[in-house]
Chain A
Amino acid sequence: MLLEATNISKTYGRKEAAVRALNNISLAIDRGESVAIVGKSGSGKSTLMHILAGLDRPSEGAVALDGRSLSNLPPTQLADVRNFAFGFVFQQFFLNGRDSVLENVELPLKIRGVEKSERTKAAMEALKQVELEDKADARAQDLSGGQKQRVAVARAIVTNPRVLFADEPTGNLDSKTGERIINLLFSLNKEHHIALVVVTHDEDLAKRCQRRLFLKDGSIVDSLDSL
């Protein structure tokens, strides 16, 4: 199993004021699988994604990548896991507007300490996959919303991740550009066998995933497999 969560719970605050954001959740994601985490705001879907992606730690239970628990890893090693194994796409893109498109895409490799020439090559390759290689030198802030999200996808896949986490990837886009991003994500999922974990309340997006997990008040209330 690629990514596996076992009985994870997350509690914020202490004692009487404690809020249980996640309640005893277990799930397993296979290589190349696509999973949608669906739920209303406050259902705990973002918290679940953060824990799966190693951005947050569960209060109870454990997350394992390739059977190796992430719970006991020191912060620096957890950061390395994020850099090497995971890619992130956010609703609000989070590009550095004043930097060039190329610099934005290179960022994870720069953090990893890859040589300039090598990371430029990889970044251009990733931009080609999102069909934005001609925008490499443009400033990120000059792009349209859809283009920005494609740059964010390029940044997420430039490291050849095992899992791509997408948090409401179409939330800030109109339906047409949103459709294009969705197609892009699923083609990457199919061609490169990158597991896709999508957090969304968009039913159309969720339906295209192999599996849909419905979250309510921190618990999985339903799980549906698409055909």
Chain B
Amino acid sequence: MKILDLLATANHNLLKNKLRTILTIVAIFIGALTLSLTNGLGSGAKGYINDQLQNIAPEDTMEVRRPFPQEAFGSLGDVSEYDPEGTESISPNTFFLTRDDLIAIEETEGVTSVTPVYQITTEYITRTGEGRYSIIVGQYIDEMQLALAAGELLAPQDDAGLILPKRYVEPLGLSSPEEAIGRTVTVGFLNGNEELVERDLSIRGIAEESLLGSFQAYASSDWVAQLHAVQTVNNPALALTFPAAFVRAEGANEEELAAVQERITAQGYAAQTVADQLGQVNNVLNVIQIGLNVFGAIALLAATFGIINTLLMAVYERTREIGLMKALGMHRRQIFLLFALEALSIGFWGGALGILASVGIGLIANTIASNTFLESFEGFDLLAFPIVSSLGILAIVMVVSFLAGVLPALRASRVNPIEALRYE
């Protein structure tokens, strides 16, 4: 029998017992729907967080730190005894990067720029005639991609600009993000002598609400460096140490970036690229997603027993027909294939409809969520259905359905035509 004829016959046979077929498809439908929804939930969270993390820095950037001094503390859980002759004393320099470190890193082959991370503290933000509000000002790294509601990102060397989170617009007496652009705000902070000092900044952009950027304003590295200098004026040790540095290898591709990373690591530093950081977050999210998917898989597993049951009944009912087909010259393998195709068809329809339904549910749920409890998370889809994972789920459902069809199909292929065609 030709494969298309087999496929047509398989579907024809399924239609002969519509109710039973539909009920079996419904079981698979529910399994596929659950799996697609749990997976969609994971993909949604992953997609959002990846998106957010990509905002933090350009891809050719890595964060370089001093490695954790393991030998100073011994292994986890241990406390080392103090040895005046032995290990170095633990100072900020043990953890922090110094000027020398920055120079060494900058001289590493492939590195185009090194921007130290300055630790600053700010007290408040205000505008003439408005109240004071607590704020954290972060350091803007060139080419950092923040989602903006209005305005522009900071241009290089712009040391008077500020990107303000959307939530500060209204408290500062501004009617809309668009209206805020170009306005002057005042940031208050304590200098090295614990005296309150104010600096003016001009609003260049308004950042969308997001997981990582909803509370923090951004000012240029230069501005943050100046503020850092003011704050550490009485503490030269702190002034010249940095918790980390952003190192760029501009224009480097993945391979070149890895090579630069290796060269930096070889000098005794710990370097993490954006991809590394994404990888770590993704690992956690993957574990959560797999955990969720187990529920979907259980639903699917239960449904496969429906397929086994349905097809075993069909084999029993159609024993005579199978015997006739064998008598008329049908090969065992084709009989097997016929029933396997019936299982695959059930899997295909259940799986495809389940996935489509989950996408529909996802659209509705995303709309509801973004208008209610996820309102402050702009761009967060509660459920996401990347085409690859949807096709993957369909493939899994079909493979599982095929496996469920193996036992009935083997039974069918082993029908003895003489027995089947014997009359009572």
Contacts and interface: CB of A to CB of B under 8 A. Distances in A.
Interface of A: 50, 55-56, 75-76, 79-84, 88, 90-92, 94, 96, 98, 107-108, 110-113
B5 A113 contact: yes
**Nearest 8 pairs of A and B residues by beta carbon:** A83-B329, A82-B329, A108-B328, A79-B329, A111-B330, A113-B2, A76-B331, A94-B324
Nearest to B3: A113
Given A55-B417, A55-B418, A98 B16 contact: yes
16 contacts: A55-B327, A79-B326, A80-B329, A82-B327, A84-B329, A92-B423, A94-B320, A96-B324, A107-B324, A110-B1, A111-B325, A111-B328, A111-B330, A111-B334, A112-B329, A113-B1
B332 interface: yes
B5 A110 contact: yes
Interface string B392-424: 000000000000000000000000011001010
Contact of B329 (A50, A91, A111): A111
Given A79-B331, A96-B321, A107-B325, A91 B423 contact: yes
A79 B423 contact: no
A97 B5 CA distance: 19
A204 to B, nearest CB: 21
Nearest to B318: A96
Nearest to A81: B329
A75 B329 CA distance: 10
Chain B residues touching A, range: 20 to 34
A110 B16 CA distance: 19
A165 B320 CA distance: 18
Given A108-B328, A108-B329, 20 more contacts: A55-B327, A55-B418, A56-B418, A76-B331, A79-B329, A79-B330, A81-B329, A82-B328, A83-B328, A83-B329, A90-B423, A96-B324, A107-B328, A110-B1, A110-B5, A111-B328, A111-B329, A112-B1, A113-B1, A113-B2
B320 A50 contact: no
Interface string B265-287: 00000000000000000000000
Contact of B421 (A94, A96, A111): A94
A40 B325 CA distance: 28
B295 to A, nearest CB: 40
Nearest to B17: A98
B292 to A, nearest CB: 44
B24 to A, nearest CB: 19
A125 to B, nearest CB: 18
Nearest to A90: B421
Contacts of B417: 55
A50 B327 CA distance: 10
Interface string B301-326: 00000000000000000001100111
Contacts of A81: 329
A113 B333 CA distance: 14
Contacts of A113: 1-2, 5
A197 B330 CA distance: 22
B327 A88 contact: yes
Interface in B1-19: 1-2, 5, 9, 16
A90 B332 CA distance: 22
Contacts of B333: 76
A126 B327 CA distance: 19
Contacts of A80: 329
A84 B326 CA distance: 13
A87 to B, nearest CB: 9
Nearest to A113: B2
A112 B334 CA distance: 11
Contacts of A92: 423
Contacts of B2: 113
A108 to B, nearest CB: 5
Nearest to B12: A99
A92 B424 CA distance: 10
Contacts of B5: 110, 113
A169 to B, nearest CB: 13
A113 B320 CA distance: 21
Contacts of B418: 50, 55-56
A112 B5 CA distance: 11
Which of A50, A56, A79, A96 has the most CB atoms of chain B within a 10 A radius of its CB? A79
A200 B320 CA distance: 22
Contacts of B331: 75-76, 79
A88 B327 CA distance: 8
A192 B325 CA distance: 25
Nearest to B16: A98
Contacts of B329: 79-84, 108, 111-112
Nearest to A107: B328
B11 to A, nearest CB: 14
